[in-house]
Chain A
Amino acid sequence: MRAINRKILRDLVGMRGQALAIALVVASGAATYIMSVSTLDALESTLAAYYREYRFADGFAPLKRAPRSVAARLREIPGIQMLETRVLAAANLTIDNFDEPVSAQIVSIPESGPLLNAIYLRSGRMPDPSRDNEVLVSDSFASAHQFRAGTHFYATINGRRRRLEITGIAFSPEFIYQVQPGALIPDFKTFGILWMPEDALAAAYDMEGAFNDVTFSIERSANIKEIIDRMDEILARYGGLGAYGREDQLSNKYLSSEFDQLRQMAVIFPAIFYGVAAFLLNIVITRVIATQREQMGVLKAFGYATTDLVLHYLALVAMIIAAGIAGGIALGAWLGQALGSLYMEYYRFPFLLFHLRPDMIFVAALISGVAAGLGTLHAVYRAASLPPAVAMQPPVPPRYRRSFLESLPLARSVSQPTRMIVRNLERRPLKSVLSILGVAAACAILVVGTLFSDSVDYIVRIQFQFAQHDDLNVIFNEPASAKAISSLKAMPGVRYAEPFRSVPVRLRFEQRSYRTSIQGLPHGAVLRRVLDSELKPAPVQEHGLLLTDYLAGILHVRPGDTLTVETLEGERRVLRLPLVAVAKEFVGVGAYMELEALNCAMGEAPSISGAYMETDSEHDKEIYAELREMPRVAGAGVRANALRNFYETMAKQALTFAFFNTLLAASIAFGVVYNSARIGFSERSRELASLRVLGFTRFEVAYILLGELAVLTVAAIPIGFFMGRGLGAFMISNVQTDLFRVPVIVDPSTYAFAAIVVLASALISGAGILRKIYKLDLVEVLKVRE
């Protein structure tokens, strides 16, 4: 091996600490990128393949009830490719050893199996169409209750209780994200999807010869808007609730907003990481190479050309970077797969297509390579273009002056070492600023890493502390008379009940429209409240609507404007209602009105869609049992479950992601701090040894170097907080959807955590440096100049 190459290897070994820290930074950047991109890619390609192979419908049209003959007319709508009718039913389930209310949506299976939204049978067999007690259950529900083919349970459909037997476990592209109507997030224990042969379900649900839902696919050239309008016209007489395209289908909508968010993260997180990593690499490599200045002078003196040296140091850096990239890619792929399977728990895909595509690896390597390469080139050219005679001289003694701080009166009493710290910081302000920025950036990504879970936590806290006080909510399968509330109140353990009315509507303003429902709440409601922008209760009004701020934004309406409200129920009246105020909500898009006024506007006798209740937890079991037997009750939600479920699933997911990010951010933080300290040491070891020779104690010498590190670290932390919050706000501003609006909330514990990681990095680095100071060989340092 050529001596010059041997030098690379030996130098590498000599600076292994720093090399490792640099490789760590590169690896973290690459891993973040690979993790995000590969997870996103896996989810997206899985979704696309799943939708294609299992023929996810292009459109859906729910309605009250229509005879099957109507289907023929629907099929004639130009642009329709395939159209199926089906029966959807709500059921309450009774499961052995599980007391809480469990509800299910039952989907009918046509005799020859669904053409659209095909079923992926994971295990077991399809139900026998000639039998009326066989069902498939969704995979998530099955695994939450450890159901298997052959397990049975009881379902109350349309007030009649029947025993159902599971023949198989299934997935469907329609229910990748399964959330109970009205719930925030999926709860696989209390909500499931069942599939039942069409005849059996129709018989059980009084839908013989009829249907209450349509799925369809369209021709490539067709215009879905026109088809939806035609379908709404035809179905209006049959209680059509408004057809919608797949972009408004609940599961798909959640997925696409999640994926949007992931896509943002896949770009923004790695961009930040890589930005920081590149910045650090540049600083670190510049400084590492600066310490090799004299050696470069020697090599040049003996006839090595500048380009030889550049190649030499590029090779050195390339080895460090290559190790970092390789480690980062392996780690990223592993994390990506881990994250992918975590998402699988949440989104029910039957399979996951995970690939580490060559282009991802290429991009990861390219970004690290370019970042490091530029840093090296810059550093080497600067050092190597010095005339060799100059390069070999010890750097000109830096020009110190009395620092600004020393001119302050208090400064006279300050010790000499302290003065040296201050002078050194002031002497190279740019370097000090860059070091501070580096550490601050590391601190910032730590803040950003946990920012999301803080914000989501905050949403939940607001939701359950201010807006939602009920212990239990009950939804009827169709509007009931206002008297229904008294039968709920009469149940043992129910302390208080508040009715609500929910009317599906299409809101229009100017050319914009949005499909949602209006919630009617009674005056002075306490269990469910609408909040204003200061999180104070905003009273519902008789003469107009309250809209979620986000919905008001979508429709471009302001208080005082009048909206057109097409109700999609009962007489299907078209109303003109003013917007009276805007409400603050982080989840969903709602419209609110006073309950009686809403009923009145609908032209209906007082009726309610459900109730919020305050209950005695001792009587929970009895209440749940009684609710199961009530034919009208389509579902019930338990607050405690929602919270528990939230922390179990959502938080787990957010926390895992945050944990990975935090780990990576922490390693970057450590890399920066350690390198700053280590380089400071090599740059100044002669000076420090000289001081030792002059009689300074080890402690005093250590104080000079570590004091500087401490000042830089402490200065960097608040700046990092500030940067982190700013970055977080930027990221969050990009992921606002009609499902969620995430506020920028940073919990003090997040700041504390970021600060602790940075300080711990500084302490560990400081300890390493201290060891070096203790081992500093005075004679050697003064004798040999290198």
Chain B
Amino acid sequence: MAEPRRVFSATGITKVYHMGDVEVHALRGVDLELYAAEFTVLLGPSGSGKSTLLNILGGLDRVTSGEVTYEGRDLSRASERDLTNYRRHYVGFVFQFYNLIPSLTARENVSVVTEIALDPMRPEDALELVGLGDRMDHFPSQLSGGQQQRVAIARAIAKRPAVLLCDEPTGALDSETGIVVLEALMRVNRQMGTTTAIITHNADIASIADRVIYLSDGHIVRTEQNRDKKEPRDLHW
């Protein structure tokens, strides 16, 4: 097997939030590499810095110190415009609370993104892919949580992103729905070779990943390669 290509590379990144006089050290020096087509799970207790790390990888936030590169490009020193371009063309996000635009239908929520992408899928195809072909013209308020999250996934993958970053995509869902969502993510990862990172604090989910990264208190405490990777449908929690 050929050496997998390194997509992300972070060295010594820290992130400090200032809340009035209080300094919150969300990341305290993190080194990390993510590889092409890899399915990674970030695991850790609440407040350990998972979201912060993911946001930095996705160009949603900036490091306080250290360096992050994506395909050799320095994200830590990129301009606002470069970051916007990076997000527009390379990254797909899925958030815990779906964050759909309430005034747009499922199809339109996907279109919002495909309309500014370079080589997108048809929004309909993206929705088919997550099994929502029959709910395209529903508004978010007319969809269940799981359906909303699948629209969010369709929205994230429709631009054929190189990376897919998901912050607790199943956090707000029951296990059955969660599994459907994870299957959708897994399918995208396999079919399109998308580098995927998923945050969770559910240790069971870790078993479907190629690699599990454990965070605690702003540090990576441990990284594990999964030898026998499970399928989402074999999970239950």
Contacts and interface: CB of A to CB of B under 8 A. Distances in A.
Interface of A: 2-4, 6-7, 10-11, 14, 294-295, 297-306, 387-390, 392, 396, 780, 783-786
B126 to A, nearest CB: 13
A389 B51 contact: yes
Given A7-B103, A389-B55, A302 B155 contact: yes
B97 A7 contact: no
B93 A301 contact: yes
A6 B108 contact: yes
10 contacts: A7-B108, A300-B84, A301-B93, A302-B87, A302-B88, A303-B89, A303-B113, A305-B80, A305-B81, A387-B61
B44 to A, nearest CB: 17
B101 A298 contact: yes
Interface string B43-70: 0000000011001001011100000000
Nearest to B58: A301
Interface of B: 19, 51-52, 55, 58, 60-62, 80-81, 84-85, 87-89, 91-93, 95, 97-104, 108-109, 111-113, 115-117, 140-141, 145, 155
Contact of B112 (A4, A14, A784): A4
- The interface centre, meaning the residue of B60, B62, B81, B111 with most chain A CB atoms within 10 A of its CB, is B60
A392 B113 contact: no
Contacts of A390: 61
B102 A784 contact: yes
Contacts of B102: 295, 784, 786
Interface secondary structure of A, over-half rule: helix
A783 B98 CA distance: 11
A295 B112 CA distance: 12
A298 B89 CA distance: 15
Nearest to B89: A303
A361 B52 CA distance: 52
Contact of B111 (A2, A301, A306): A2
Nearest to A780: B141
A549 B195 CA distance: 89
A21 B2 CA distance: 65
A301 B87 contact: yes
Contacts of A389: 51-52, 55, 60-61
Given A305-B80, A389-B51, A389-B61, 12 more contacts: A2-B115, A3-B112, A6-B104, A6-B108, A7-B112, A14-B103, A298-B100, A303-B89, A306-B84, A396-B19, A784-B140, A786-B102
B136 to A, nearest CB: 12
Contacts of A388: 60-61
A393 to B, nearest CB: 9
List of 10 A-B pairs having minimum Cβ-Cβ separation, nearest first: A303-B88, A10-B103, A3-B111, A389-B55, A3-B108, A389-B60, A303-B87, A3-B112, A389-B61, A305-B84
Contacts of B55: 387, 389
B155 A3 contact: no
A302 B141 contact: no
- The interface centre, meaning the residue of A11, A294, A302, A306 with most chain B CB atoms within 10 A of its CB, is A302
A304 B84 contact: yes
A299 B93 CA distance: 11
B103 A784 contact: no
Contact of A294 (B85, B99, B112, B116): B99
B141 to A, nearest CB: 7
Contacts of B104: 3, 6-7, 10
A783 B145 contact: yes
Contacts of A297: 99
Given A4-B112, A304-B116, A298 B99 contact: yes
B194 to A, nearest CB: 15
Contacts of A780: 141
Contacts of B113: 302-303
A643 to B, nearest CB: 61
A307 B51 CA distance: 26
A303 B85 CA distance: 6
Contacts of A306: 80, 84
Contacts of B155: 302
A652 to B, nearest CB: 50
A387 B84 contact: no
Contacts of A294: 99
Nearest to B95: A392
Nearest to A390: B61
Contacts of B95: 298, 392
A303 B84 contact: yes
B26 to A, nearest CB: 11
A295 B109 CA distance: 11
A390 to B, nearest CB: 8
Contact of A302 (B52, B97, B112, B140): B112
Contact of A303 (B109, B111, B116): B116
A514 B211 CA distance: 100
A24 B93 CA distance: 40
Contacts of B112: 3-4, 7, 299, 302
A91 B55 CA distance: 94
A368 to B, nearest CB: 25
B2 to A, nearest CB: 31
- The interface centre, meaning the residue of A2, A3, A6, A388 with most chain B CB atoms within 10 A of its CB, is A3
A7 B51 CA distance: 28
A300 B99 contact: no
B99 to A, nearest CB: 5
B62 A387 contact: yes
Contacts of A387: 55, 60-62
Contacts of A304: 84, 88, 116
Given A294-B99, A303-B113, A784 B87 contact: no
Contacts of A299: 101, 112
A783 B97 CA distance: 9
B113 to A, nearest CB: 5
